Amino acid sequence: MDGDAAVIRRMRRGDESAFDEFVTKYYPAVLRYCMAHTGCRDDAQDMTQETFVRFFGSMERYRHYGRAANYLYRIASHLCADRYRHGKAMTVVPIDSIPEPAAPHPPDLDELLCVRAAIDGLPEELRETAVLYFMQERKLRDIARILEIGLPLVKYRVRRARLLLAERLREEET
Amino acid sequence: MNREDRRIREYFSRLQESPQRDASQAGLRRTIERSKDAYCDAQAQESLSAAEFLYRQGGYIRKRWWLAQGLVLLGLWFLLGSADGGDTPRRMLGAGGPLFAVLALPELWKSRNANVLEIESVSYFSLRQIYAARLVLFGVVDLTLLSVFAACTVASGRGVLTQIVLQFLLPCVVTCCICFTALYHAPFLSEAAALSACLVWSVIWLQAVSCDEIYRAVSEPLWYGALALASAYLAFCIYRGQEGCGRLWEKAKQEGTGGCLWNS
């Protein structure tokens, strides 16, 4: 029995420390995933929180087959997809309202912005797969389960995303 | 992993290493608290299925009484094996029946003895549901025990089914009638009084079956009729008792007299 199964069993028995353990374990990964989609820390935190709230709200119906992370990614994926559909991909704020940074810009800021732009430039379905494969380093089978698509389609999307990302990052380098 | 993938992952990892993208501890704590709230809210809205409710009520019943009932039947089975015939098996079954029934008394009287009726009446499930669950559980377990006992006794040749039905089941059902009448319809009777009434009945029955003249004077159909009547009364008693579950009984100590108050 994997560790998550024991933690989930403890949560169902009302052990509060199990909640702490579970959320602490998966919070950073889900936050990174949401950050990759939103590009905004506050929005990503809200979506991460919403992911866990939905997970625990439906936990009675959840059947653990060894991949709690996949289920969390699936919820986060749906939240991100809804967000894009409602046109909230990036939080736009007036430039005058942004305060001067206390610390100097990181030297690789341009590169980070290029990567960000490259991700955002991908079609939605490819972006989703790219984030899960390249950033979250999930296995192809896990990605198939999270996105509820077939393995061949996952492989196709990874190939396409790799091509497009490589092309765009090469353009930025030159 | 090919070179292209490694390059892309390196770019992605730089995105993640950016110092402004640390997991916020405050966000984490907020998420943990909201997660617990979400789980509790979902739990509060979930209602138990009938099977889950029965399972949980079964957890509150002390299994020692079922064990004792099982041991009574086991002992009876062994004794029947060593009986030398005549009216000995009749007496054994006649004694075993009421004993089997009174072993359910402690669990059925538990709520009244511990004065928890008031608490149970304000629980999420109604008193009627709780008591119905207990009766169903007792009924199922006792029926199972009796079926196994009857099957083993008949299969091993230690008795016949008609003998078990008339000599064991009839006094058992009458004992149950006394118990439930006392429990539901005679609040002034304590558990000890109910037990005494059952013992008196047991003695009367043993006297009746031990006396051949009396026993043979009553034909078999009449015995079956008595069993049917007792069973019907038992069902009626339980039904009326369940209907009246909403009443709370309080014992008020009045000076030197004692008394009962009925709140309806």
Task: Give me the DSSP letters along B85-101.
Answer: STTHHHHHHHHHHHHHH
- Residue A156: band (very low, low, confident or very high) from pLDDT cuts 50, 70, 90: very high
In this prediction the ipTM stands at 0.71
Q: Are residues A67 and A82 in the same domain?
A: yes
Q: Which is nearest to B163 in space by CA: B80, B72, B234?
A: B80
Q: How many domains does chain A have?
A: 2
CATH at residue A144: 1.10.10.10
Give the chain B residue whose CA is nearest to the CA of A114: B11
Task: Kindly tell me the sign of the dihedral angle through the C-alpha atoms of B12, B15, B21, B27.
Answer: negative
SS3 A148: coil
Average pLDDT, chain A: 80
List of E strands, chain B: 248-252, 259-263
| pLDDT score of B120 | 65
Q: What is the CATH number of the domain that holds A64?
A: 1.10.1740.10
Identify the sign of the CA torsion B65, B71, B72, B74.
positive
Whether A66 and A145 map to the same domain: the answer is no
Asked whether the beta carbons of residue A106 and residue B30 sit closer than 8 angstroms, the reply is: no
| Residue at a domain's end among A41, A64, A96 | A96
Closest partner residue to A162 among B8, B14, B34, by Cβ?
B8
Distance from CA of A90 to the nearest CA of B (A): 16
Structure token digits, residue B126 = 């109604």
C-alpha to C-alpha distance for B262 and B259, rounded to whole angstroms: 10
Residues near A12 by beta carbon (within 8 Å), at least 6 away in sequence: A59
Q: How far apart are CA B212 and CA A127, in angstroms?
A: 93
* CB contacts, 8 Å: A54 with chain B: 38
At A22 the pLDDT is: 92
Extents of the domains making up chain B: 48-246
Dist. CA A120–CA A123, nearest whole Å:
8
Q: What pLDDT score was predicted for residue B254?
A: 36
Indicate if A131 and A73 belong to the same structural domain.
no
With an 8 Å Cβ cutoff, are B11 and A111 in contact? Answer: yes
What single-letter amino acid sits at A142? D
pLDDT score, position A173:
65
Reading the block at residue B204, the tokens are 């009367």
Q: Of A96, A117, A152, which residue is a domain's last?
A: A96
Please give the pLDDT value at position A125. Answer: 83
Lookup: tokens for B218: 């009553």
Condensed to tens digits (0 to 9), the pLDDT of residues A115-145 reads 777 777 888 888 888 888 888 888 999 899 8
Among A7-11, A106-110, B18-22, B218-222, the least confident range = B18-22
The reply to whether A103 and A91 lie within a common domain is no
pLDDT, residue B19, reads 42
Q: Are residues A67 and A151 in the same domain?
A: no
Same domain, A33 and A66: yes
Which of chain A's residues have a Cβ under 8 Å away from the Cβ of B5? 134, 162
More confident residue, B69 or A3: B69
Residues of chain B with pLDDT under 50: 19-22, 248-264
Domain that holds residue A29: 1-96
Enter the pTM of the model.
0.49
Which of B46 and A56 is assigned the larger pLDDT? Answer: A56
A87 and A112 share a domain?
A: no
Same domain, A45 and A30: yes
pLDDT at position B151 is 92
Are both A82 and A165 inside the same structural domain? no
Same domain, A107 and A91: no
The residues with which B263 forms a beta bridge, in sequence order, are: B248
Give B28 to chain A, closest Cα distance, Å: 7
Q: Is A169 on the interface with B (CB under 8 A)?
A: yes
Q: Are residues A92 and A165 in the same domain?
A: no
A92, pLDDT greater than 60: no
Task: Report the DSSP pairing between strands B259-263 and B248-252.
Answer: antiparallel
Top-confidence residue, A171 or B229: B229
Statement: residue A61 has pLDDT above 70 = yes
- The verdict on a CB contact (< 8 Å) between B4 and A162 is yes
Q: Closest Cα to residue B93, out of B106, B75, B68?
A: B75
Min CA distance, A27 vs chain B (Å)? Answer: 7
Nearest residue to B94 (alpha-carbon basis) of B223, B234, B219, B181? B223
Closest CA to A49 of B37, B35, B259, B117: B35
The answer on A133 and A54 residing in a single domain is: no
Given pLDDT bands bounded at 50, 70 and 90, which one contains residue A167?
A: confident
Which of A96, A117, A150 is where one domain is finished?
A: A96
pLDDT band at A25 (very low <50, low <70, confident <90, very high): very high
Contact A56 B12 (CB under 8 A): no
